[in-house]
A and B are shown apart, each in its own frame.
Chain A
Amino acid sequence: MKRIFNVLMIIMFILVFISFSSFANFRQEVVVDKWKIPFLNCVTGPIASIGEYMSWSANRAANEINLAGGIAGKPVKVVNYDTGVSPDKAVEEMAKLVDSALVVMGPVPEACIMASVPLAARKGLFCMTASTSYEYAIKYFPWTLSWFPPTDEKLPPITATWAKKHPDMKTVVQFLEKWACWPEMAKAHAIGIKSAGVKMLKDVEVPTDAVIFGPLVVKALAQNPDGIMLTCNAEKAAKIIIELDKNGWKDKSKILVFSSADDTSLYTTGGKYLEGVSVYNYINPDCENPRWIAFRKAYKEDHNGIEPGSLSTIYYDCVYMLKEAIENTGVTGDPTKLAKERIKIRDYCRNIKGFKGIQLTWDMKNGIPSDKGTFLFIIKNGKKKLIALAGKTK
């Protein structure tokens, strides 16, 4: 027995040694026969479900492109790297990429962006971060770009639109989960609601590990609000709506769910209690674009009929944007020209004109999209029905 373990130990030491030496072979092969795009995603951890659909949509775009002949004639492959939502893992994964990758998709949640993008910026690697918030991307400009306009420009118009649709609503209480960028979004929501002449009552904080929601709902209702704004995770939002219903809340359209909660688990958890609730988001499920229709159909087939999530289009668009950038700037993928080509892609993506996304067409100006709209929906028969569009300029 003892001898077996001694042998095992020796084998393990050898393995460690081999793995050390394998670091030396980390560089990419010289001849590029395939575009390997690393995707710093979160496929494990608390938001693994979001990571799953982001990865699904990126792969769908890659497959479409490959069927249509690839990027500059060569096939593209999205390679997943997992951050597990922990910033230290994000840095480790980014460290694998900074010496060799042409461009990076991700990292995905805000904490990982903040932790790992400084390293990428130091090494001159462009990151297509996923954040819904401009605030986290701008710190590292020009090495990142933002998918959305600044929060305080994009959110107030939509909450104001909602508030104006209910003239009898005098006071609103906001449920706020202090997670990542949500407090910033909550502030922007409040600005919009106040601009419509509605009073904001004291926020109700939702603990991240809340198990039951009765106490929170009681606390909110004790303030006698006319309207409810939900800035918390999808499952929690749904449970709060159920709890409100049990407490006798009648007018569901005076409940507004924010974009990050417009997720599958909102609908699976909320069920029939969601009937009539208002929701805002950045994509429109009933968009007429044929690419979107095909995308939505395929997504639902692969996910038991679940609708695509609010961030699902970002990396679909991202892969197409990279295709455009590589083809229009003549990037070859040759490792010897890595630094120059990284900058070429960066400069192209940050100032793209008339990019045709799967739903909208927009311009990028210095890494910021100038005219992306926000949609306001009402839930009818378990489906979102568009009632207003705010913030789109053309």
Chain B
Amino acid sequence: MEVFLAQLINGLALGSIYVLLVTGFNLMILVARIIQFAYPQFVVLSMYACWEVLRLTNNVFLAVFACISTSIVLNILSEPIFRRITNMKGIDINASFVASLGIAIVITDIMSHSLNYGFPIAFPTSWVEGSLARFGLIMISKGQLYALAGSIIAVLLFFYLLYRTKQGRLFRAIAENRFAARLIGIPIVKTSIFSYFIAGLLGGFIAILLSLLLGSASPWLGEFVALKILAVSIVAGLGNLRGGLVCGLCLGVTEAMAMGYLSGSWSNVVSFVIMLIIILIKPQGLFGTSIS
């Protein structure tokens, strides 16, 4: 029982990472109708920026600022590319996937080539301070708590933003029907850039939470999770924020349980087989999708 509870907490911590990233990923689907496969890579690159500033200045505020602004800049820089792709006639959402695949490859390779000699980066250990509470094997750390709380707050916040505010309505309007949105007089470019700005802001927060929870990052971190993020998003239903929350946490718990009770090397296979079965049975996702 003790082991089970400990693994459950670990699973929720892992799941909260997935939830955060899936939320960002779904946000891109909802506000821009693109599959942003490179989103996790943007987050990892922001972690690198945070680390670099922390190393040079040793100032936490500057580092946080650098992290968030890097993420925002990266997302806004990608906006013209994706806008051009979504504006093309006869080109569908696949093209955005392929283009972001290209971006992901470039970022990963540049990180492994030239940032920190390709070594993984590590945040100062004071960022990863010890446990908050511990009973035998059950242990809760600060990072875990932040990440879990952060992920739930992020989902709620973006749910509210998208479905309850005027700005969110504009985002969805543009994503759904660009022509109609123009007719209504929504300034397309401005709103579109703003939606990427929001996604970038979220990316920056994710990067900070991840650096608190993981304490380090490697060039391959983005690639490790990108595939799972896409899978979770599809299992939950593309663009379904609530589904992403549930499925992300479930994936984390499944992996932790598989690692703890079965075998570490097979844990990914266990979760992938489960996801594969769900996808094959319900191609539209468990929670339904708004994307046709």
Contacts and interface: CB of A to CB of B under 8 A. Distances in A.
Interface string B236-272: 0000000000000000000111011101110110000
Nearest to B10: A214
A272 B256 CA distance: 27
Contacts of A211: 14, 17, 214, 221, 224-225
A271 B216 CA distance: 11
B13 interface: yes
B121 A272 contact: no
A215 B10 contact: yes
Contacts of A219: 3, 7, 259-261
Contacts of B260: 215-216, 218-219
A204 B7 CA distance: 14
A339 B224 CA distance: 46
Contact of A271 (B118, B125, B213, B259): B125
Given A49-B117, A212-B213, A239-B215, A206 B137 contact: no
Interface string A238-259: 1100100111100000000000
A217 B26 CA distance: 32
Interface majority SS on B: helix, strand, loop or mixed?
helix
B256 A215 contact: yes
Interface stretch (A89-97, A261-269, A285-293): A261-269
B43 interface: no
Nearest to B268: A207
Interface residues of A, number: 39
B256 A214 contact: yes
A207 B264 CA distance: 5
Interface residues of B, number: 47
Contacts of A268: 119-122
Given A215-B10, A218-B260, A235 B125 contact: no
Interface in B92-122: 109, 112-113, 117-122
B235 to A, nearest CB: 18
Nearest to A176: B264
A178 B257 CA distance: 19
A235 B259 contact: no
A269 B120 contact: yes
B158 interface: no
A122 interface: no
Contacts of A303: 117
B141 interface: yes
B193 interface: no
A205 B268 CA distance: 12
Contacts of B263: 205
In the A-B complex, the 6 residue pairs with the closest CB atoms: A205-B264, A214-B10, A271-B125, A269-B122, A48-B118, A215-B259
Interface of A: 44-46, 48-49, 52, 178, 204-207, 209-212, 214-216, 218-219, 221-222, 235, 238-239, 242, 245-248, 264-265, 268-273, 303
6 contacts: A211-B214, A214-B9, A219-B259, A245-B130, A265-B120, A269-B215
Given A216-B259, A269-B215, A270-B125, 14 more contacts: A45-B112, A52-B118, A204-B264, A210-B264, A214-B14, A218-B10, A219-B3, A219-B259, A238-B216, A246-B139, A247-B134, A265-B120, A268-B121, A273-B125
